[in-house]
Amino acid sequence: MSRFVLSDAAIDGVAQKRTLDDDAAGACVIFEGWVRDHNDGRQVRRLDYQAYAPLACSEGEAIMTEAVSRFELRGARAIHRTGSLEIGDLAVWVGVSADHRDAAYAASRWIIDEIKQRVPIWKNEHYANGESGWLHPDNSPVDPGLGPPR
């Protein structure tokens, strides 16, 4: 089973947590990133996520493998949505299990930060005034000459 997955369907966090079950684990940390109704002072109506799937999955899997080794995790899994999402939808889910809580907390934070920096996923925010704007994984505006994948 892949530790990093892109999904165009809703994420079932309860089912995902079960993939982390391990009798040797003493801690489990779950991070859920939800679509919020604002960003940088602008009212957001919805988001569209696009990804270059072959590279995104490869880089996501590399992040997860590195996390398991670096933090001595018992389990690790991350799912990122693609497609159109509404306010309140679950956009990204990260779960880790480890022997101790310090490792689990540190790994969870490290994984989501690395996903945002390294995985080619683009976010198009649709604003209340009818405008929209693409953001790159690090949340900086995308160069209009480059843009997201089509």
Has residue 99 been placed in a domain?
Answer: yes
Range of the structural domain that residue 58 is part of:
4-33+53-120
> Is 91 a member of any domain?
yes
pLDDT at 115: 97
| 105 inside domain | yes
DSSP string, 25-72: --EEEEEEEE--SEETTEEEEEEEEEE-HHHHHHHHHHHHHHHHHHHT
83 Rama class: left (phi>0) / alpha (psi -120 to 50) / beta: left
The answer on pLDDT for 142 being more than 70 is no
Domain count, the chain: 1
Average pLDDT over residues 95-113: 98
pTM, to two decimals: 0.90
137 — pLDDT class (breaks 50, 70, 90):
low
Q: What is the DSSP string of 82-149?
A: -EEEETT-EEEEEEEEESSHHHHHHHHHHHHHHHHHHS-EEEEEEETTS-EEEE-TTSSBPPTTT---
Q: Is residue 67 part of a domain?
A: yes
Interval 40-99: pLDDT, tens: 999 999 999 999 999 999 999 999 999 999 999 999 999 999 999 999 999 999 999 999
CATH number of the structural domain spanning residue 109: 3.90.1170.40
Predicted confidence at residue 148, as pLDDT, reads 55
pLDDT of 7 above 90: yes
pLDDT in tens, 13-56: 999 999 999 999 999 999 999 999 999 999 999 999 999 999 99
pLDDT of residue 140 exceeding 50: no
